[in-house]
């Protein structure tokens, strides 16, 4: 590999000749040989939005000339479009502020601008990575700002739509099976009847609640600490820079970000991200329950519950011919488990740091962005390849319902709990029907039993 020499405050360092990054990035790539994870591309590309907005704001405030502004816009547009992705080699596991990534961005943009202007790479002409691309900024305020921008974009433009689609399919299933009474189950044991539609609608309601909380949590992430520079005071920036740069961020993203009133809070602590990650964990808990219930309800097909039939997507076993497994549900379960684990990392990272700076920013954003992607991808796949193809096995449902001892619960208001329990115990011990037991105990006639025991009527309030 051919190299060129670039210089930073520590002296000269070799940089790959065909890369746009500079000395500080080369040092960081060598100093952090940790793991395989790199900074998420969402952060890299969205940094282009921040740098573009800052350049426009600095120009409007008279701090850079039009030539520099135009070069910054062109280079940032390439970064935003993903054309410069190959120039970001630094490990995710770097300094807790994200300084290495901020400078990686500044150097790549500066060298790309040098190339555009016909200057040598590393010349820092006509735009300097620190003096111009980092003007009115610090890593400490730009990194949490880009974190928030990335999370809001990924949530609003990707995740929410997928969750809404899942909610609609659950609603469709609830409507389709609203009159299909079946055995309810509590503690994994037979309980009073419920309709299959009510079972699906329970999932719809759980998801709907989580969606509301998710959308609400975004408003706290939309308060950006940009303009706070190093410790939240705004040193080395002009008054009003914060509102200007946020205005340009909104023009670029189509979102409704605001400049945070207290920028120190957004630099030193990340309670907003902890809160958001907690909502993702709540969604993961919903995913896990949905996955497990589908696995149980489809178990069999002959020796399990088998009340629903799932699509046959692929052979389920390398040794057992004809076996079909709930693979989409299992993938959903595993994704949910990882999201829960990610939330633990976010909580630890969010509680870290001292005084004016949280020092686990890369850890926090990596886990949150991974969680968003895992939830979105796994739910989308589950919805498309499993939920939409689920069909009820109505014969199996009817057979279980007719055999259920818990239908006796409807007799509580008629003959009392004790006599109803006696009927259930007799039926179970002697392996006879509830009706036979009730008649033999002389608590009800056969006609009275049939009048009071109506499984469909037991799926809603039934007392006058």
Catalytic-labelled residue, pool 87, 187, 351, 371: 187
From CA 428, how far away is CA 407, in angstroms rounded? 13
Question: What is the average pLDDT across 16-38?
Answer: 97
User: What tens digit of pLDDT does each residue of 207-263 get?
Assistant: 999 999 999 999 999 999 999 999 999 999 999 999 999 999 999 999 999 999 999
From CA 344, how far away is CA 360, in angstroms rounded? 13
User: What tens digit of pLDDT does each residue of 373-404 get?
Assistant: 999 999 999 999 999 999 999 999 999 999 99
Q: Is 136 a catalytic residue?
A: no
What pLDDT is recorded for position 352?
Answer: 87
Average pLDDT, the chain: 97
Candidates 90, 79, 73, 74; CA nearest to 22 is: 90
Residues whose CB falls within 8 Å of the CB of residue 370, separated by 6 or more in sequence, listed in order: 40, 338, 342
From CA 39, how far away is CA 32, in angstroms rounded? 13
From CA 285, how far away is CA 135, in angstroms rounded? 44
CA neighbours closer than 13 Å in the CB half-sphere of residue 232: 17
Catalytic-labelled residue, pool 9, 317, 351, 445: 317
Indicate if the pLDDT at residue 1 is higher than 90. no
Indicate if the pLDDT at residue 334 is higher than 90. yes
What pLDDT is recorded for position 227?
Answer: 98
Q: Which helix (H) or strand (E) holds 391?
A: strand 391-392
What pLDDT is recorded for position 464?
Answer: 81
Candidates 133, 142, 125, 150; CA nearest to 45 is: 150
How many CB atoms are closer than 10 A to CB 7?
Answer: 12
Pairing of strands 11-16, 308-309: unpaired
Quick one: pLDDT band at residue 370, thresholds 50, 70, 90? very high
Q: Write the secondary structure of 158-227 as one string of H (helix), E (strand) and C (coil).
A: HHHHHHHHHHHHHHHHHHHCCCCEEEEEECCEEEEEEEHHHHHHHHHHHHHHHHHHHHHHHHHHCEECCC
Binding residues: 97-99, 128-131, 138-140, 186, 318, 323-325
Q: Tokens 């299933």, residue?
A: 173
Indicate if the pLDDT at residue 297 is higher than 90. yes
Q: What is the DSSP letter of 42?
A: H
Indicate if the pLDDT at residue 168 is higher than 90. yes
Binding residues for substrate: 97-99, 128-131, 138-140, 186, 318, 323-325
């Amino acid at each position: 590999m051919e190299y060129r020499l670039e210089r930073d405050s520590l002296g000269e360092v070799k940089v790959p000749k065909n890369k746009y990054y500079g000395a500080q990035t080369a040092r960081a790539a060598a100093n952090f040989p940790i793991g395989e994870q790199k900074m998420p591309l969402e952060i890299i590309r969205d940094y282009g939005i921040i740098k573009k907005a800052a350049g426009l704001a600095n120009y409007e405030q008279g701090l850079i000339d039009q030539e520099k502004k135009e070069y910054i816009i062109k280079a940032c547009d390439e970064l935003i479009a993903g054309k410069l992705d190959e120039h970001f080699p630094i490990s995710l596991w770097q300094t807790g502020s994200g300084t290495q990534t901020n400078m990686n961005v500044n150097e790549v943009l500066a060298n790309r601008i040098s190339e555009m202007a016909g200057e040598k790479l590393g010349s820092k002409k006509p735009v300097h990575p620190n003096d111009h691309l980092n003007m009115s900024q610090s890593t400490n305020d730009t990194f949490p700002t880009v974190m928030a921008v990335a999370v809001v974009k990924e949530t609003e433009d990707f995740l929410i739509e997928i969750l809404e689609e899942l909610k609609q399919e659950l609603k469709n299933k609830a409507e389709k099976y609203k009159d299909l009474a079946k055995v309810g189950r509590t503690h994994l044991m037979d309980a009073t009847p419920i309709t299959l539609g009510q079972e699906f609608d329970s999932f719809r309601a759980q998801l709907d609640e989580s969606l509301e909380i998710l959308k609400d949590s975004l408003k706290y992430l939309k308060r950006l600490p940009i303009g706070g520079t190093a410790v939240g005071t705004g040193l080395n920036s002009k008054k009003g820079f914060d509102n200007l740069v946020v205005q340009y961020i909104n023009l670029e993203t189509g979102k409704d970000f605001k400049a945070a009133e207290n920028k120190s809070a957004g630099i030193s602590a990340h309670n907003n991200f902890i809160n958001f990650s907690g909502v993702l964990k709540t969604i993961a808990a919903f995913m896990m329950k949905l996955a497990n219930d589908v696995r149980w309800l489809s178990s069999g097909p002959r020796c399990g519950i088998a009340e629903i039939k799932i699509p046959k997507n692929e052979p389920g076993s390398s040794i057992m011919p004809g076996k079909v497994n709930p693979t989409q549900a299992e993938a959903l379960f595993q994704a949910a488990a990882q999201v829960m684990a990610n939330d633990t990392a976010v909580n630890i990272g969010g509680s870290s740091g001292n005084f004016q700076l949280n020092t686990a920013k890369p850890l926090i954003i990596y886990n949150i962005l991974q969680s968003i992607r895992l939830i979105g991808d796994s739910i989308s796949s589950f919805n498309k390849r499993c939920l939409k193809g689920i069909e009820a096995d109505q014969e199996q449902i009817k057979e279980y319902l007719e055999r259920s001892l818990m239908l006796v619960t409807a007799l509580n208001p008629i003959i009392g709990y004790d006599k109803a329990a006696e009927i259930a115990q007799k039926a179970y011990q002697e392996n006879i029907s509830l009706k036979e037991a009730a008649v033999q105990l002389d608590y009800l006639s056969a006609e009275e039993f049939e009048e009071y025991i109506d499984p469909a009527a037991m799926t809603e309030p039934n007392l006058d």
